[in-house]
Every structure is written in structure tokens, then in C-alpha cells.
């Protein structure tokens, strides 16, 4: 079975480290990549087909909304999860408009991240056949 690829995008090194380690322990069938900026993430998406992108909404180079719009414009569009420390309620309309799987609030618990990633990838498998 082919590995499922998860890309985590956040400008905070600590968040990337914690999330990457948490998700690498999910199962053997996952590859976890990280990007410090939305631009870096877009370059990685040019090189690797990702199944799931977990991205922060507030980043210095490009916010998560614009990043998600650019991801959605691609032929191979991954499932997207947003994370923010500023409350998801203010992004509810954008979640629907951009087809975001879920918006979650920081700080995240390790178990929550693992379950959310597993559920999102399962949902992707069910909806893409």
C-alpha cells in the first residue's frame, strides 16, 4: 500500500516539531512533511502529491486562506485542516467556501491531532474512491 503524505504548515518551529512527531507515530503508512512558510509548502506540493495538509491560518508570508485558495486551484487538491489560536468561529464561512475538512483551535492535544488526521484521511479515502 502506498504511503499517505501529510504536510504540516506553520511558521512556529516548535509546532512543526510536535505535530510531525505526533503524526509520525500514527502508523507506518504515513509520511509527514513540514514547511515553515506557505510559499515553501506550495513548492513542496509541486514536488509531492499530499493527501492531507494541516496549516496554520496566521502566517507572515501568506495567510492560510490565500494558501488554501492556491492549494484548491491545483489539479491534485489534498484534504485541508486549518488550525488557529484566534478562534474558528470567525472563519466559518471560509471553511465552507474553500471545502476545508475542519478548523481546530490551538493549542492542540496530541491525541486530538492524531484522531483528526486519521479521520480526515479516512474521509478522503471514502470520498475519492
Domain limits for position 87: 4-128
pLDDT computed for residue 29 by the predictor: 76
Alpha-carbon span 50 to 77, nearest angstrom: 8
Alpha-carbon span 52 to 118, nearest angstrom: 10
Dump pLDDT digits (tens) for 9-36.
Answer: 999 999 999 999 999 877 677 899 999 9
Q: What is the DSSP letter of 2?
A: P
Alpha-carbon span 46 to 53, nearest angstrom: 13
Q: Which residue has the cell 509531492?
A: 48
CATH code of residue 75: 3.40.50.2300
Dump pLDDT digits (tens) for 29-59.
Answer: 789 999 999 999 999 999 999 999 999 999 9
- Is it the case that residue 76 has pLDDT exceeding 90? no
pLDDT-derived band at 1, boundaries 50, 70, 90 = low
For the residues 72-76, what does the mean pLDDT come to?
86
| Structural domain count of the chain | 1
- Contact 59/50 with Cβ under 8 angstroms? no
Q: Is 29 helix (H, G, I), strand (E, B) or coil?
A: coil
Amino acid at each position: 500500500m502506498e504511503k499517505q503524505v501529510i504536510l504540516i504548515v506553520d511558521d512556529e518551529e516548535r509546532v512543526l516539531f510536535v505535530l510531525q512527531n505526533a503524526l509520525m507515530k500514527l502508523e507506518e503508512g504515513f509520511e509527514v512533511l513540514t514547511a515553515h512558510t506557505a510559499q515553501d509548502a506550495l513548492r513542496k506540493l509541486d514536488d509531492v502529491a499530499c493527501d492531507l495538509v494541516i496549516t496554520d491560518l496566521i502566517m507572515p508570508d501568506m495567510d492560510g486562506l490565500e494558501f488554501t485558495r492556491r492549494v484548491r486551484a491545483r489539479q491534485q487538491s489534498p484534504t485541508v485542516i486549518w488550525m488557529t489560536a484566534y478562534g474558528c468561529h470567525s472563519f466559518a464561512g471560509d471553511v465552507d467556501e474553500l471545502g476545508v475538512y475542519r478548523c481546530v483551535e490551538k493549542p492542540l492535544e496530541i491525541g486530538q491531532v492524531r484522531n483528526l488526521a486519521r479521520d480526515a484521511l479516512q474521509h478522503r479515502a471514502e470520498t475519492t474512491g
